[in-house]
Amino acid sequence: MRVLHITRDLLPAVTGGISIAVDGLLQACCALDGVECAAISFDGYRPCSRPGTAAPVILREDGARVLRVRGGDAPDRALRFAFEFGPEVVCVHHAMLWALAEQLRARRAELRSLLFLHALQGHQDRLHGLERPTRSALDEMRAVSRADRIAVGSRAAEQILVGAFPEQADRIRLCRPGIRDSAEAARSADSHARGACAAGPLLYTGRFADLKGTFDLLDAFAILSESKQARLVVAGGVPDRPRSEMRWRRRLMDRLPEPARERVAFVGWLDREALANQLLRASMLVCPGRFETFGQSALEGMLFGLAVVATRAGGQAELIEHGHSGLLCEPGDVPALAAAIERLLAEPDLAIRLGRTAAEQARSQHLWDGRAGEIAHLLGELA
């Protein structure tokens, strides 16, 4: 079976969870018997993108051929690449790219389609209280209504999607992302288990967004401002929009009292090595999101052996067992978030125990090797 993955930003920077999930899924698909994979990555793509370029096709170590394209005229190059590959199944990882799948299906009626929803745009609109759907939500509605199968990464997301699209319930499937182990992650887990990072900073990784709890994070840190030992590293930002990212940074810093600002470091988007280094040095990972379709960043922190403070937001509550592999609080409850962080700062032995258990769970329950059956079954439905 030939499977073509259509995605955005396939690991140009890896602080964000979705690109890590797609990268791992691509590798897991390549490892299945009888499956050949290719991918098209629209880097920095937005519906209003200016004309851009296509890079030469690269061959990954896992055997997948990847075309990286950038800009508004990229679909022409992508279509040629897709037809040369000749897929039997097309997997779309962002609803705004669904149009390319429809162009392929228009010329090959037998082509089957799989939509992976790594974020629920319509649900995010509802959480924002919007009266009219955004363009992203409209793209999602169209893609969900036409895909042969729709995959989501958590029971929480599955329930929301079935509630929003009851007529598509028989096509919706649970397919949890996994995570890939590494020597860096193993060394980090060992270091945290020995308590070597107890004096490290708090760490946040991901996009800046209100639904990601970015404001909640800074407000909670402000409550901790009297603790001179508390430091915060913020990795991530706003992808491909440097001016917007700078505005976010200014707004976030404005929420802090003057003494606390000196203990916050914005390090931007990080590659694999730099992100692994931050995970190694941190004392804990804070995941304050208002809703998470899966919780890839939390899972990565678990793999690296960090104690994770997270909200019961969607899939995060399915990854972390409160008091056993992390600490959970309600989304949007800033005092509770601050209290959970304060507790781990005051009880380093608890942080070590939580991180050790989290690392064990990540390796025993969430590696990509254990997801092979789910992926194979899903592709088998489309064969």
- Are 82 and 193 found together in one domain? no
Say which CATH number the domain at 350 has: 3.40.50.2000
Cross-strand pairs, 9: none
Q: Which residues of 240-265 are buried (b: 16+ CB within 10 A; e: fewer)?
A: beeeebeebbeebeeebeeebeebbe
- Are 156 and 133 found together in one domain? yes
- Are 19 and 166 found together in one domain? yes
* pLDDT tens readout for residues 155-169: 999 999 999 999 999
Domain limits for position 269: 183-365
* pLDDT tens readout for residues 203-233: 999 999 999 999 999 999 999 877 667 999 9
Is-contact 307 354, C-beta < 8 A? yes
- Are 359 and 372 found together in one domain? no
Question: What span, in angstroms and rounded, lies between the C-alpha atoms of 213 and 207?
Answer: 10
- Are 91 and 15 found together in one domain? yes
Structural domain total, the chain: 2
Supply the mean pLDDT for the chain: 91
Q: Read off the tokens for 61.
A: 């170590």
pLDDT band at 43 (very low <50, low <70, confident <90, very high): confident
- Are 71 and 156 found together in one domain? yes
- Are 106 and 239 found together in one domain? no
- Are 272 and 301 found together in one domain? yes
Backbone angles phi, psi at 330, to 5 degrees: -75, 145
Of the listed ranges 40-49, 64-73, 77-86, 150-159, the least confidently predicted one is: 40-49
What's this model's pTM, rounded to 2 decimal places? 0.92
Is-contact 344 318, C-beta < 8 A? no
- Are 172 and 302 found together in one domain? no
Q: What is the pLDDT of residue 284?
A: 97
- Are 140 and 188 found together in one domain? no
Q: What is the pLDDT of residue 315?
A: 95
- Are 140 and 104 found together in one domain? yes
CA atoms within 13 A on the CB side of 86: 2
Closest CA to 192 of 305, 343, 279: 305
pLDDT band at 377 (very low <50, low <70, confident <90, very high): very high
- Are 53 and 96 found together in one domain? yes
* pLDDT tens readout for residues 5-35: 999 888 765 555 678 888 889 999 999 999 9
Q: What is the pLDDT of residue 211?
A: 94
